Amino acid sequence: MRRRIPLIITFIIGVVLITGYFVTRGPFNTLYESFSDYFAIITVFAFILGGGSLLKIHLKRVSSRATDWPYSMVTLVAFLVTLVIGLFKVGNPGGMGGEILASGSWLRFMFDGVYNPLSATMFSLLAFFVASASYRAFRARTKEATILLSAALVILLGRTPVGAWLTAWMPESLAFLELPNLANWIMAWPNTAGQRAIMIGIALGVIATSLRIILGIERNYLGRGE
Amino acid sequence: MRIPDTILQIDRRIIFLLIGAAVCIPLLLKPRFQDSPTPIVQSIFDTVERLPAGSRVFLSFDYGPDTAPELDPMAKALVRHTMTRGHEVSFFTLFPEGVGQIKKITDNLLPVEFPDKAYGRDYVNLGYKAGLGGAINTMVVNFRTLVNADAEGTPLDDLPITADVDEMVDYVIILSLTAGDPGLKEWIQFAGDIAGIPVMGGGTAVVAPELYPYYPQQLVGLMGGLKGASEYESALVDRYPAYRNATMEATMRMGPQVVTHVLIVLLVLLGNLAYFLGRSGPGNRAGRTGQGNRAG
């Protein structure tokens, strides 16, 4: 019964949502609108579930002194401090009725002074590792690798004014070979064709998986055990 | 050790130093690279430009601080353009961190550059809504169910700019600045295609290639990475020369990007040259075994 009831709920909601999308008359459109509203409410509770899960995992790691447990401690402290400051609007000039990120509030300070620079730093480090990895691993070993390498070099140069400057000497009849034009062509044609193929493949996979879930063939999402 | 081997085994800290220099030196010297907008960027500019003054524009900040260096310049250029044209802008975000990005605009840019524009009349912050793509679907199906107040809790009916907004289709265009999911793709799939609202915007250089398949039928235009932002800024300066002296962040940041791109190209070419020289040399194992190809 523990598995059958969720399967029935999934089937009913799946059929109603699919039908409601195509049939714009009652009762399907009314149900479709209602389920959309329920979705908006239910997703908010996912935050509580996520927070609880984060607490559970890291408390377990700290209590068992697992590898790198001090990092879990940092995560827990950061999570709880941010949560308390955000929920109770600590230091907010407008008090509990104030805007959540009001100027001068502690949460605004944490966002601007801690989260903002930390995020930017982590993302900026990518430039260094991308450069190092490109130098060491980007080799024209095979035909496919050579095509990939050539496309990457054209895009890298074509997306900067240097690309235009390097090929500005070309006659008008060969303008399509100028690096910015080549870069735009690669993005507009080969890239679009490849992306479309991937997207259509993914979409077909999603449709197939969704049908399997709605019809109760795919049951992994229910977890193990009866 | 032979020269190709030496080149292939350059200490990565030297590469890090070179990249650091490639970023810092142009930031100090501030070279300006003039850009011209490509059609895919120009179409966004033209759409915003052609809208009658007072049009309702929906601007979603679907990104956080990590991608702000690429997307903030787009946000500022779009806000400058829409405000100059006299449009009514509703700010929104599908990212929890996006709230802070909106605040940067409403607290820093708008009061300084557009002191005559008033909150609630010319622009409004609708804040963050949870639910990813599902939130967009809910807004299209029943806008007021999800968005019934601004970020500060003021009911939409009490704000002149939103008093008449009952449905998503009351907005004439949707602009999204995208760092990933949810973003432009979801706005196209759940709002643009379903409700028929023209969708356009910008994405990081990493995200942009995924969005090209939607252009031009489902996506009016796209700013890809810093280059796209720089193109929009140049279109703005061309049309409104008053912005010639304003700080155009993307145009400024193109300096480090140009030098870094050229440096990476040179490093890749150097690595390949050494690889082929090493492979062609007698008795050298580096080329055949792939020595010196550790990533990172």
Query: Per residue in B49-75, pLDDT tens?
Result: 999 999 999 999 999 999 999 999 999
Q: For residue B296, tell me if it sits in a domain.
A: no
Q: For residue A1, tell me if it sits in a domain.
A: no
Residue A152 — pLDDT band, cuts 50, 70, 90?
very high
Both B8 and B56 in a single domain?
A: no
Q: For residue A126, tell me if it sits in a domain.
A: no
Residue of higher predicted confidence among A25 and A7: A7
Above 50 in pLDDT, residue B287?
no
Both B98 and B172 in a single domain?
A: yes
Q: For residue A158, tell me if it sits in a domain.
A: yes
Q: Is B34 exposed, middle or buried (0-12, 13-18, 19+ CB in 10 A)?
A: exposed
Both B266 and B237 in a single domain?
A: no
Average pLDDT over every residue of A87-105? 86
Q: For residue B258, tell me if it sits in a domain.
A: yes
Residue B205 — pLDDT band, cuts 50, 70, 90?
very high
Quote the pLDDT of residue A84. 94
Both B234 and B217 in a single domain?
A: yes
Residue A3 — pLDDT band, cuts 50, 70, 90?
confident
Quote the pLDDT of residue B127. 92
Å between A63 CA and nearest CA of chain B: 30
Q: What is the three-state SS of chain A?
A: CCCHHHHHHHHHHHHHHHHHHHCCCCCHHHHHHHHHHHHHHHHHHHHHHHHHHHHHHHHHHHHCCCCCHHHHHHHHHHHHHHHHHHHCCCCCCCHHHCCCCCCCCHHHHHHHHHHHHHHHHHHHHHHHHHHHHHHHHCCCCCHHHHHHHHHHHHHHHHCCHHHHHHCCCCCHHHHHHCHHHHHHHHHHHHHHHHHHHHHHHHHHHHHHHHHHHHCCCCCHHHCCCC
Both B143 and B52 in a single domain?
A: yes
Both B142 and B258 in a single domain?
A: no
Q: Which residue of A has its CA nearest to B23?
A: A127
Q: For residue A102, tell me if it sits in a domain.
A: no
Å between A195 CA and nearest CA of chain B: 6
Above 60 in pLDDT, residue A12?
yes
- Beta strand spans in B94-165 (E): 123-128
Q: Between A117, A133, A187, which is nearest B296 by CB?
A: A133
Contact between chains at B137 and A36 (C-beta distance less than 8 A):
yes
Q: For residue B239, tell me if it sits in a domain.
A: yes
Average pLDDT over every residue of A23-32? 84
Selected residue of A89, A132, A141 to mutate for chain B interface (largest B Cβ count, 10 A) = A132
In angstroms, how far is CA A142 from the centroid of its own chain? 33
Overall pTM > 0.90: no
Domain residue limits at B75: 39-247
Above 80 in pLDDT, residue B281?
no
Residue A129 — pLDDT band, cuts 50, 70, 90?
very high
Both B17 and B50 in a single domain?
A: no
* Two structure tokens written together for A43: 């997703």
Q: For residue A94, tell me if it sits in a domain.
A: no
Both B16 and B136 in a single domain?
A: no
Å between A71 CA and nearest CA of chain B: 21
> Nearest Cα to B66, choosing from A133, A182, A121?
A121
Average pLDDT over every residue of A34-47? 85
Q: Between B69, B227, B296, which is nearest A159 by CB?
A: B227
Q: For residue B294, tell me if it sits in a domain.
A: no
Quote the pLDDT of residue A114. 92
Å between B65 CA and nearest CA of chain A: 5
Q: For residue B147, tell me if it sits in a domain.
A: yes
Q: Between A36, A99, A162, which is nearest B151 by CB?
A: A99
Quote the pLDDT of residue B283. 58
Q: Which residues of A touch B16 (CB under 8 A)?
A: 128, 131-132
Q: Between A101, A129, A187, which is nearest B296 by CB?
A: A129
Domain residue limits at A163: 142-226
Residue B183 — pLDDT band, cuts 50, 70, 90?
very high
Q: Which of A5-14, A31-40, B116-125, B196-205 has the lowest mean pLDDT?
A: A31-40
How many inter-chain contacts (A to B, CB under 8 Å) are there? Answer: 171
Above 70 in pLDDT, residue B284?
no
Residue type, B144: R
Both B257 and B242 in a single domain?
A: no
Contact between chains at B65 and A33 (C-beta distance less than 8 A):
no
Quote the pLDDT of residue A101. 83
Number of domains in chain B: 2
Residue B296 — pLDDT band, cuts 50, 70, 90?
very low
- Where is B163: in which H helix or E strand? none
Q: For residue B116, tell me if it sits in a domain.
A: yes
Q: Between B141, B262, B267, which is nearest A135 by CB?
A: B267
Q: For residue A199, tell me if it sits in a domain.
A: yes
Both B267 and B203 in a single domain?
A: no
**Which neighbouring-strand residues pair with B90?**
B58, B124
Residue A179 — pLDDT band, cuts 50, 70, 90?
very high
Q: For residue B78, tell me if it sits in a domain.
A: yes
Q: Considering chain B, what is the average pLDDT of its residues?
A: 90
Average pLDDT over every residue of B122-133? 92
Both B273 and B230 in a single domain?
A: no
Residue B43 — pLDDT band, cuts 50, 70, 90?
very high
Contact between chains at A160 and B68 (C-beta distance less than 8 A):
no
Selected residue of B66, B119, B150 to mutate for chain A interface (largest A Cβ count, 10 A) = B66
B140 and B170 Cβ atoms separated by less than 8 Å? no
Q: CATH number for the domain including B86?
A: 3.40.50
A210–B contact, CB cutoff 8 A: no
Above 60 in pLDDT, residue A71?
yes
Above 80 in pLDDT, residue B47?
yes
Quote the pLDDT of residue B246. 84
Determine the Cα–Cα distance for residues A200 and A54; give it in Å rounded to an integer: 35
Above 60 in pLDDT, residue B18?
yes
Q: Considering chain A, what is the average pLDDT of its residues?
A: 90
Q: Which of A219-223, B203-207, B292-296 has the lowest mean pLDDT?
A: B292-296
Number of domains in chain A: 1
Residue type, A172: E
